[in-house]
Structure 1
Amino acid sequence: MAVTGFEFATATRILYGAGRLADAPEAIRALGGHRVLLVTGRDATRAAPLREGLERLGLSCVSFTVEGEPTVERVREGTALALHERCDAVAALGGGSALDAGKAIAALAPHGGDPLDYLEVVGRGQALTKPSLPLVAIPTTAGTGSEVTRNAVLGVKDAQVKASLRGPTLLPRLALVDPDLLKGAPPTVLASSGLDALSQLIEPLVSARANPLTDALAREGIRRSARSLRRAVLETPDASAREDLALASLLGGLCLANSGLGAVHGFAAPVGGMYEAPHGAVCAALLPATMEVNLRALRARAPEHPSLARFQEVAALLTGRAEARAEEGITWVRELCEALRVPGLGAYGLTEAEVPRLVARARAASSMKANPLTLSDEELTEIALRSR
């Protein structure tokens, strides 16, 4: 594949390793934090060691919880709290929802105004130009890679859509990835987040914007996900499986932030806005059909496209067999989804009658721009129907 130029951006600093959560308090103090907004998911007790470490250093904490997926309304409340309490740093610990909320609050607090002033697609899309509050992002699930991405996905209830705040100021100052934080994660969370990570490795590798740096990261991540995701969900994940899942998620975040995604995430954004559906499970439901339709479209309309050979490479990485055909990779993904009991989109409320509206929204999604080629409405409709 010819290299025509690319950009690679990520968090200012990445700390990875078992037990590295203990390093977070000193790292936050080193960033100049004195009064920290501590953003968590619904289980705020998971942040107790971090809170205690901050307090031992003489730093004060203000707690803010995000019960479900982050919304414009909840981020407004968090931003107002950060300003009222004069917080000078943000620590976000949790799944992708907590991390995206923390990133949004850290970016919005210095700007003033409303999230909709800066939100893309359904907002005014103004640029975030002022530096964010210093932000440390600490994932407790292995899926979104949000700790190293430059966007924050927010739900907009009135518009029934999810859209992003986006820009370089959204990148955390520190991404701290501790695989020990996956201990005790429910199998459903491991499955949903792990399949999200896998889709965020496969889509960038076949992306129209793939580049040599993300290619290398995607290959490593796919190998790790392929060898550990199934056993991590169906058995109790050991240290090596936790490491593989945590690294696959981190690598997927680096890939999506720098090479884009594709039709899986193009659909996932409007599905998440239209229905109460966990993002990772939605991506998992869409992945097999999307891969198959993309492969067929490339063969029919762009047989010389460089992404076509990537589908065979994905199959080799997933199966561990260099001679595997592209179709075998799709079968591998489909069988994994069946083994992990991934529900179809109909389980969240998608009906056949709503598919045209979903297709129209998916076509407008920013992730669709990096799909290997432009899919027709008929092809998008096929993906939606087969993912039900």
Structure 2
Amino acid sequence: MNYKYHMPTKVFSGKNCIVANSDVFKTFGSKAMLVTGRSSAKKNGSQHDVITALEQQGIDYVVFDKVMANPTIECAYEGAEFAKANQVYFIVAIGGGSPMDAAKAMALLAKQDIQPEDLFNGQYAEDVLPIIAVPTTAGTGSEVTQYSILTNNLLETKTSIAADILFPKVAFVDAKYMSGLPVTTTINTAVDALSHSVEGMLSIRSSLVSDALAKESIRYFVKAAPAMCDAVGSGDVSLLDETVRQDLMQCAMLAGMVIAQTGTTAVHAMGYSLTYFKDIDHGRANGLLLAEYMAVVQESEPQLVAEILAALGMSELSEFKALLSKLLGEVEVLTKDDVVKFSAKAVAAPAIKGNCKVKPTEDEVNAMFMQAFNLAF
């Protein structure tokens, strides 16, 4: 059995783990750059805890809080220039996938002179600013991956920088920062994590280790699913208590460890157009397509889908579709022209061309979109 496993990030998990382990920060230098969005890191207390830890260790810091949802290439370059101008030694990424992904690109660009046209070519030197990641949502798992996903307006999609030098050195995983996170955001990010684990098992790079992590991640999702369904039905965010938040944080981190080994598949390749052109949240986009791709896989690899369903505690794909439908609700409107355009983009993506155990045809991708969005064939 041939496989490799590499995840060099040191993880600290638990309540108040940042301040309790503040000495970790001093190993990276005397000045940090905090990378966040406009307000969420301030509101949920994560930025306060990071600053407290830095001040305990006598470390200076500056704040770059201009990261938007689905960060752009331009944002990454702006942050890199800010890092260079302030002569920082390391970066602390605080937030969901957007700040973490943007911070990784900034860490690379602050140390290497890379032109935009070469940003995604995979040819990088080893020099990069160290990254410490503080996730405040349970979705992307970016705190334990080597990926930086940026909005690429030239190609009208999202494009990935993938390099082992982008693995965060340290991740602090504390579910308390998710307290009060809106129901919809909680659901969308959790479904993103679930998609990572399922897609990891559907990847040609899956292994004994990645599948074990994926199944454990899926089980954490299943534990949290009843509370998420109740919260969707009532709109009551208090139903997503500390225990649920902790389960979802573990789900997301484990799922990140999966895709760090396997990459993603057709679901992500298809979902990027939904986000770019229709402004559908990334995790939601994946969730709308996930069961449809599993149905395609089931045609030729039924045992593979059965293995995933077993981890979910289910025996039929229809049960999984029903759960996703309950969590995600009414679907958005797509036209047949949208489907043709999005399908053509998806089949050209590396995730479909080279990473699927079951590689869908363009006709099958068309059909998946049509089925997911209730369009007549």
Report the TM-score when normalising by structure 2. Answer: 0.90
After TM superposition, where is structure 1 displaced by more than 6 Å over at least 4 residues in a row?
Answer: none
- Give the 5 Å matches for 1:137-148: 137-148=133-144
* Structure 1 residue corresponding to 2:208, chosen from 212, 216, 241: 212
Partner of residue 371, structure 2: 386
Alignment pair present for 1:255 and 2:261:
no
Counterparts in 2 of 1:276 and 1:203: CA distance versus 1, 3 Å: same
Does the Cα contact within 8 Å between 1:94 and 1:141 map onto a contact in 2? Answer: yes
What displacement does 1:345 show?
4.8
- Paired letter, 1:290: Y
Alignment pair present for 1:313 and 2:307:
yes
What displacement does 1:201 show?
0.9
Distance 1:11 1:138 in 2: 16
Distance 1:278 1:81 in 2: 28
- Give the 5 Å matches for 1:77-116: 77-116=78-117
- Paired letter, 1:54: L
Alignment pair present for 1:27 and 2:24:
yes
Partner of residue 122, structure 1: none
What displacement does 1:208 show?
2.2
Counterparts in 2 of 1:269 and 1:247: CA distance versus 1, 3 Å: same
Counterparts in 2 of 1:159 and 1:85: CA distance versus 1, 3 Å: same
Does the Cα contact within 8 Å between 1:230 and 1:340 map onto a contact in 2? Answer: no
Q: Secondary structure of the residue that 2:91 maps to in structure 1?
A: strand
Structure 2 residue runs of 5 or longer lacking an equivalent are 232-238
How many equivalent residue pairs? 360
Counterparts in 2 of 1:26 and 1:218: CA distance versus 1, 3 Å: same
What displacement does 1:351 show?
2.2
Does the Cα contact within 8 Å between 1:108 and 1:115 map onto a contact in 2? Answer: no
Does the Cα contact within 8 Å between 1:284 and 1:342 map onto a contact in 2? Answer: no
Partner of residue 56, structure 2: 56
Alignment pair present for 1:72 and 2:69:
no
- Paired letter, 2:248: L
Partner of residue 284, structure 2: 281
Distance 1:180 1:104 in 2: 27
Distance 1:252 1:92 in 2: 19
Counterparts in 2 of 1:189 and 1:24: CA distance versus 1, 3 Å: farther
Alignment pair present for 1:344 and 2:342:
no
Partner of residue 9, structure 1: 6
- Paired letter, 1:294: V
Does the Cα contact within 8 Å between 2:33 and 2:63 map onto a contact in 1? Answer: yes
Moved more, 336-345 or 147-156: 336-345
Percentage identity across paired residues of the two chains: 29
What displacement does 1:384 show?
1.3
Partner of residue 234, structure 1: 230
Alignment pair present for 1:268 and 2:271:
yes
Partner of residue 236, structure 2: none
Partner of residue 173, structure 1: 169
Does the Cα contact within 8 Å between 1:16 and 1:178 map onto a contact in 2? Answer: yes
CA distances 1:87-121 after superposition (whole Å, capped 9, x unpaired): 110000100001101111112211023344222xx
Report the TM-score when normalising by structure 1. Answer: 0.88
- What root-mean-square deviation, in Å, do the aligned CA atoms of Structure 1 and Structure 2 show? 1.8
Distance 1:277 1:384 in 2: 14
Partner of residue 235, structure 2: none
Does the Cα contact within 8 Å between 2:25 and 2:57 map onto a contact in 1? Answer: no
Distance 2:15 2:318 in 1: 34
Q: Secondary structure of the residue that 2:25 maps to in structure 1?
A: helix
Distance 1:261 1:67 in 2: 23
What displacement does 1:272 show?
2.7
Q: Secondary structure of the residue that 1:91 maps to in structure 2?
A: strand
Q: Secondary structure of the residue that 1:340 maps to in structure 2?
A: helix
CA distances 1:163-193 after superposition (whole Å, capped 9, x unpaired): 0111111111112211222211111111000
Counterparts in 2 of 1:234 and 1:64: CA distance versus 1, 3 Å: farther
Distance 2:23 2:307 in 1: 42
Partner of residue 319, structure 2: 332
